[in-house]
Amino acid sequence: MAMFNHSSSKKERQRGQAFIEVTLLVPFIFFLFIGVLDMGFYAYALISTENAARVAAMYTSSGSSTAADSAGACTNALAELNSMSNVRGLSSCNALPVQVTASSVANGADGAPASSVSVTYQTSLMIPIPGLAGQYTVTRTVQMRLKDS
């Protein structure tokens, strides 16, 4: 009978030890999860900004008359960035969170006339993790050859 009581108390001590170990690890697991979630939002912002710059450059490269059309590039970039929470409802691209500039380039990468579009996007406030920035600013520039040249 004494032996049964001894093994029973040993199991209880092991359960208590496992509970304490999990309790000590929970904060680290929580911050790891939050960090991964935050990096996912940042990666999504990077991809969306690159796509917005590409779509705007496709619009401006349609001809020499649209090569420097920042307003048209803005409209196309905003349509592409519409899934971002702080972009919904914006109608201009003159200030952050979205800035779009388009310019005509006389000699592009291959020597032909091109259009260059730069899109800058500032994320909304991310999850506040001590030691990391609360907002990130992403800039992507795309240059595309003009179709009428």
- Dihedral (Cα; 123, 92, 147, 138), 10-degree rounding: -20
Q: What SS3 state is found at 99?
A: strand
Element (H, E) at 141: strand 137-145
pLDDT digits (tens, 9 = 90+) for 7-64: 566 666 677 888 899 999 999 999 889 889 888 999 999 999 999 999 999 999 999 9
Can you give the pLDDT at residue 1?
A: 46
pLDDT digits (tens, 9 = 90+) for 37-51: 888 999 999 999 999
Can you give the pLDDT at residue 8?
A: 62
Sign of the dihedral defined by the CA atoms of residues 108, 44, 125, 133, in that order: negative
Name the residue among 121, 51, 128, 48 with its Cα closest to residue 86: 121
Can you give the pLDDT at residue 35?
A: 84
With vertex at residue 116, the alpha carbon angle to CA 125 and CA 95, rounded to the nearest 5 degrees, is: 30
Do the beta carbons of residue 144 and residue 67 sit within 8 Å?
Answer: no
The amino acid occupying position 62 is S
Q: What SS3 state is found at 7?
A: helix
Please state the domain count of the chain.
1
Can you give the pLDDT at residue 143?
A: 97
Residue 108 is part of which domain span?
A: 2-145
Rounded Cα distance, 39 and 41, in Å: 5
